[in-house]
Amino acid sequence: YLRSFAFAAIDVWEDMLLGPSYATPLALDRAGIGLADLTLIDMHEAFAAQTLANLKMFASEEFAREKLGRSQAIGEVDMDKFNVLGGSIAYGHPFAA
């Protein structure tokens, strides 16, 4: 079930497709949980590189400090919990066609 959600506005010229890196920490904070508390994580994939970039930003202390004003990153994603059904590319995302 959903415990929280978040939207984050970003500059598309600087951080296009990094919305999850900005919104996920907000959603986790609102829910009062951390990344490691999630049972499953499903992220929309515009492109494989976009997904990899967001995963890198989740773990980046520098990104957390400089872009989010946070003292620490939200952490590494457990890949056994991530896009377990293949994500949107596997579902037939039009960009993957």
pLDDT digits (tens, 9 = 90+) for 19-52: 999 999 999 999 999 999 999 998 887 788 889 9
The answer to whether residue 79 is domain-embedded is: yes
**Given this model, what pLDDT does residue 28 score?**
97
The answer to whether residue 64 is domain-embedded is: yes
The answer to whether residue 3 is domain-embedded is: no
As a whole number, the mean pLDDT across the chain is 90
The answer to whether residue 50 is domain-embedded is: yes
Exposure on the CB side of residue 53, measured as CA atoms within 13 A:
14
The answer to whether residue 2 is domain-embedded is: no
The answer to whether residue 7 is domain-embedded is: no
The answer to whether residue 6 is domain-embedded is: no
**Given this model, what pLDDT does residue 93 score?**
64
pTM: 0.86
**Given this model, what pLDDT does residue 2 score?**
84
Residue 44, domain extent: 12-96
Beta strands in the chain (DSSP E): none
- Beta carbons within 8 Å of 46's beta carbon, 6+ residues apart: 17, 93, 95
Is-contact 40 3, C-beta < 8 A?
no
CATH code: domain of residue 42: 3.40.47.10
Number of domains comprising the chain? 1
